[in-house]
Amino acid sequence: MILLIAFAFLAGVITVLSPCILPILPIILTSSIGGVNTGKSRPMGVVIGFILSFTFFTLFLSTIVRLSGISADTLRLVSVLVIGGFGTSLLIPQFQVLVERLFSKLAAFMPSSQNRTGFGGGLIIGLSVGLLWTPCVGPILASVISLAITGTITFDAFLITLAYALGTAIPMFLIMLGGQNALRRVPWLLSNLGNIQKLFGVLMILTAIGIFFNIDRKFQTFILTAFPQYGVGLTKFEDNDAVKKQLQDMNQKPVDQTKMGKPTSDMLPKDPIAPELISGGIWFNSEPLTLEQLRGKVVIIDFWTYSCINCQRTMPYLRKWWETYKDKGLVIIGVHSPEFEFEKSEKNLAQAIKDFKLPYPIVQDNDFATWRAYSNRYWPAKYIIDKEGYIRYTHFGEGAYDETEKVIQDLLKETGAKDVSNEINNPTYQIQAKTPEIYLGYGRIDHFASPETIKQNTPETYTSPKTLGNNEMAYEGNWNVMEEYASPQKGAKLQLNFESKEVFLVMRTKGEPAKIKVYVDGKLQDFGDDNKSGTVTVDVDRLYKLIKLQTPGQHILHLEFEDSNAELFAFTFG
């Protein structure tokens, strides 16, 4: 447990470098202005308030909401009003007088001589920030949140959360002290302190408005989209075997996937209770839902990501089940846990939902909080939950559609649903690909046959070997290989020896559309779909169908890039 506490503390310290800290930086910087004459007392108040608030609400927010009936949005609104109020007090002298009167009434509960600009004011700001802030969750904190959301709070979870908050508070404290020192040592700043206070008051008000309208989260998405490498790898040091082992030990009742998969209800074990959905992501096609409010219904939790071809092939079945059984007590909830950074974009996901015609509720799981709560490891993955909240069946990957629908019918009968047909009439896809998924970024690259060693994050010239082995891939020309994707420059080429009927490639554009020539065994061919007369145009971030042959077989794919506008993530086959 000491190992987890140490890693949680370090994760908190380096959070200052992540994009998730950006929305609260204005509040932290502004907090150094009001307390320029109070030394370290105001910054100390902010960090203590933050530590107390973040630790408490991370562990107990779900319990508070459940017991009090006060929604998390209401608590968030109170914090937004506090932040906006402090900004207004810096801007309008009359409002500042009202705030001072309020603090004089609270003086009995504060250390002596600590007013709005001192420890007390900082404490209230810190308490608000701790509730408002949503960190970039790594594996350790995600496991704690998973326990908290299901009401399983342990002393170990408390120590880990406290360590994370302490680690995050240290850079905050140093930033505020740095702001104070700058004001004291730069005469121009000190002589213009009044105007600076007003400027920061405006900044604080705008921050509060932005948080209220969720612009902070959209800004985070923008940063990750515009600068995909920003913050990448900051939490990867948590991803090691020692940490994973201790996280498994800490989770008292993980999902036991060995008990799943029985096809008839009289054999389905009622264990375990399904973990609750972790709140925080945007919902589509529905208001936010909880498993608690869905008791009495049969629920399918479907983990997916929109560029995954295996997930896409399950969609016709999910739509059919929704249309057939939604009025008989079935609820499907798609949990979108993105494989690539661009899939975290709300706009991209909304377009994918529209393109795939998905009518059921879907929630973003960008931090993989719900994914970890279920100890999930697969795209796609389906967890079927009965009327009492127990997981009764799971299936990972494609297939078993008849068996899955039989489980749906049996569990609906347990709810008392009538006229649930026992006829199973699902179409069946035949997967005729022997080439595995191939990733193109250096983080997971495999089957790479170019003689040169991959040069990370830097342009490099590569060559193709004279022959490619089965399932091997090679770059040719100038490429910039990043962790998640590879970016070819104009004139670059790619060769792939594959065995399949269909070939798909996850791609995105840097801005301008990208043009790619597609050759199969040396010939340009028009396969329809995304490949028109041998050319694929990349204009949005998604999965593109390059090849659709009449029959599966062994072939050489040759790509030529007419510009430098494409970024390539992964090949999949079908």
Higher per-residue pLDDT: 27 or 146 = 27
- 1: closest CA among 162, 121, 175? 162
pLDDT at site 136 = 54
Residues 32 and 166 in one domain: yes
CA distances from 416 to 298, 373, 411, 413 (A): 11, 30, 9, 5
User: Can you say whether residue 473 is alpha, beta or left, with left for phi > 0 and alpha for psi between -120 and 50 degrees?
Assistant: beta
Is the bond preceding 380 in cis, omega lying within 30 degrees of 0? yes
Higher per-residue pLDDT: 467 or 17 = 467
Average pLDDT over residues 417-424: 71
DSSP string, 347-408: HHHHHHHHHHT--S-EEE-TT-HHHHHTT---SSEEEEE-TTSBEEEEEESS--HHHHHHHH
CA-to-CA distance for 236 and 461, rounded, in angstroms? Answer: 29
pLDDT digits (tens, 9 = 90+) for 2-42: 877 887 788 778 777 766 676 677 777 776 665 545 557 77
pLDDT at site 103 = 53
Q: How confident is the model at residue 384 (pLDDT cuts 50, 70, 90)?
A: very high
The verdict on residue 428 lying in a domain is no
**Which of 84-98, 112-126, 259-273 has the highest average model confidence (pLDDT)?**
84-98
CA-to-CA distance for 512 and 537, rounded, in angstroms? Answer: 10
CA distances from 337 to 60, 147, 300, 317, 572 (A): 25, 19, 15, 20, 18
Residues 185 and 298 in one domain: no
Residue type, 196: I
Mean pLDDT of the chain: 77
CA-to-CA distance for 157 and 153, rounded, in angstroms? Answer: 6
The verdict on residue 426 lying in a domain is no
Q: Report how far apart the first and last C-alpha atoms of the chain are (Å, whole number).
A: 44
| Site of tokens 């375990």 | 272
CA-to-CA distance for 385 and 298, rounded, in angstroms? Answer: 6
Q: Are strands 362-364 and 438-439 parallel, antiparallel or unpaired?
A: unpaired
Residues 169 and 31 in one domain: yes
Number of domains in the chain: 3
Residues 276 and 393 in one domain: yes
Residues 410 and 444 in one domain: no
Average pLDDT over residues 140-162: 65
Average pLDDT over residues 556-572: 91
**pLDDT value at 469 more than 80:** yes
Q: How confident is the model at residue 517 (pLDDT cuts 50, 70, 90)?
A: very high
| Site of tokens 């082995």 | 469
Q: How confident is the model at residue 79 (pLDDT cuts 50, 70, 90)?
A: confident
Residues 527 and 393 in one domain: no
The verdict on residue 233 lying in a domain is no
Q: How confident is the model at residue 396 (pLDDT cuts 50, 70, 90)?
A: confident
Residues 137 and 270 in one domain: no
**pLDDT value at 427 more than 80:** no
pLDDT at site 85 = 80
Residues 81 and 216 in one domain: yes
The reported pTM is 0.47
User: Can you say whether residue 502 is alpha, beta or left, with left for phi > 0 and alpha for psi between -120 and 50 degrees?
Assistant: beta
**pLDDT value at 149 more than 60:** no
> Hey, what are 181's tokens?
């020192």
Q: How confident is the model at residue 267 (pLDDT cuts 50, 70, 90)?
A: very low
**What is the SS3 assignment for 92-141?**
CHHHHHHHHHHHHHCHHHCCCCCCCCCHHHHHHHHHHHHHHCCCCCCHHH
pLDDT at site 257 = 39
Average pLDDT over residues 277-293: 87
The verdict on residue 427 lying in a domain is no
148-169 as b/e, with b when 16 or more CB fall inside 10 Å?
bbbeebeebbbbbbbbbbbbbb
Residues sharing a CB contact under 8 Å with residue 129, sequence separation 6 or more, in sequence order:
24, 27, 28, 46, 49, 50, 53, 54, 79, 83
pLDDT digits (tens, 9 = 90+) for 293-325: 899 999 999 999 887 777 887 888 899 899 989
pLDDT at site 518 = 93
* CATH code of the domain covering residue 468: 2.60.120.260
Q: Are strands 514-520 and 542-561 parallel, antiparallel or unpaired?
A: antiparallel
pLDDT at site 210 = 79
CA-to-CA distance for 497 and 554, rounded, in angstroms? Answer: 7
H helical segments located in 397-552: 401-414
**pLDDT value at 404 more than 60:** yes
> Hey, what are 101's tokens?
């009167």
Average pLDDT over residues 221-238: 53
**Is residue 11 within 8 Å of residue 166, measured between CB atoms?**
no
**pLDDT value at 106 more than 60:** no
Lowest mean pLDDT among 10-24, 191-205, 296-310, 330-344: 10-24
Residues 324 and 448 in one domain: no
Provide the β-strand partners of residue 573.
Answer: 503
Give the percent of the chain with pLDDT over 70.
74
* CATH code of the domain covering residue 316: 3.40.30.10
Average pLDDT over residues 156-173: 84
The verdict on residue 419 lying in a domain is no
Residue 310's domain comprises 255-414
Residues 127 and 206 in one domain: yes
The verdict on residue 246 lying in a domain is no
pLDDT at site 264 = 39
Residues 485 and 375 in one domain: no
The verdict on residue 336 lying in a domain is yes
Average pLDDT over residues 393-408: 84
CA-to-CA distance for 142 and 251, rounded, in angstroms? Answer: 11
Residues 380 and 460 in one domain: no
Residues sharing a CB contact under 8 Å with residue 73, sequence separation 6 or more, in sequence order:
none
The verdict on residue 270 lying in a domain is yes
**Is residue 15 within 8 Å of residue 167, measured between CB atoms?**
yes
**Which of 38-47, 79-88, 293-302, 337-346 has the highest average model confidence (pLDDT)?**
293-302
**Which of 113-127, 468-482, 527-541 has the highest average model confidence (pLDDT)?**
468-482
DSSP string, 394-410: EEESS--HHHHHHHHHH
**Which of 39-48, 236-245, 538-547 has the highest average model confidence (pLDDT)?**
538-547
- What's the angle, vertex CA 396, arms to CA 393 and CA 399, rounded to 5? 95
Lowest mean pLDDT among 89-98, 426-435, 488-497: 426-435
